[in-house]
Amino acid sequence: MAGIAFDQRDGLIWYNGEFVPWADAKVHVLTHGLHYASCVFEGVRAYGGEIFRLEDHTERLIKSGEMLGFTIPYSAEQLNEAQGDILRRQNLVDGYLRPVAWRGSEMMGVSAQSNSINVAIAAWEWPSYFDPAERLRGIRLDHAIYRRPDPATAPSKAKAAGLYMICTLSKHAAEAKGYADALMLDWRGHVAETTGANVFFVKDGVIHTPTPDCFLAGITRDTVIGLARKRGIEVVERTILPEELDDFEQCFLTGTAAEVTPVSEIGEHRFEVGEITQQLMNDYLAEVQPKPSAQPLAAAG
């Protein structure tokens, strides 16, 4: 279904507890989430019929809503079950899921105390976030035009829609110059992340990654750190300054959509797709595959 607009696809979407035809999963133009970004979401992947780290994603979705001042009106168990159900009903074995929760249209204005909280879950096939050929040789990053904000100015630990506006603008600016993505600094000028993934660097066999004090400590990030340490590779979480980029030999990104993606350059800085990066790419792909004891979700007939 590549190239088909997302509002014109086929199938079902779980919407406020019911399965509705894809084309009917709509919101009103005066929905608060559209005007004031009172919306949180998750990106989740399924491999071989099993949803990877489903409980962790659902827990983060619920906590993100709480950070925006609302309670999602479904339990974690209900949301987990709904994600498994929509994956089956969409006949997906390998797929991407997008749970999203937002304030409705009962009130229009900055205050929305009486607005209902809506929840939807969609699932579709999404094999790779970046171009597969470019990904293998390492994607190219530009320097982002915006920075991650001070946590005192925004709920930076929430996976909230409004926090991605500067990511879209930065990614568009990078793509206009021929890059795949952009590296963002934080408000202090420290290396933070890209527009949609966490970043890692390698020097002398040691992995370095920014301390996630103003951006999401991704679930894939956590998985990859665990895989690296299992192999005896030291992982250091610390402040990384832009002037250090020339000192690193390898660079890679992690994210649910990006998985483990090598980086070949960031602006004027160059990196190799080295052994540690390649090893973690393979280890991650092995980690996300259903284990022999797991029971894959059966496709709907």
Active site residues: 159
5 burial via Cβ count (<10 Å: 0-12, 13-18, 19+): exposed
Best CA proximity match to 200, nearest among 137, 124, 269, 254: 254
Amino acid at 261: T
Helices (H), the chain: 32-36, 54-67, 76-89, 132-137, 165-176, 219-230, 275-288
Phi, psi of 21 (to 5 degrees): -55, 140
**Tokens representing 85?**
């159900």
**Tokens representing 256?**
């649910």
Are 274 and 202 within 8 A, CB to CB? yes
Our CA dihedral for 45, 144, 135, 100, rounded to 10 degrees, sits at 10
Are 75 and 23 within 8 A, CB to CB? no
Sign of the alpha-carbon dihedral angle for 183, 54, 150, 175: positive
Q: Are strands 191-194 and 198-203 parallel, antiparallel or unpaired?
A: unpaired
Estimate the crossing angle of helix 219-230 against helix 275-288, to 10 degrees.
110
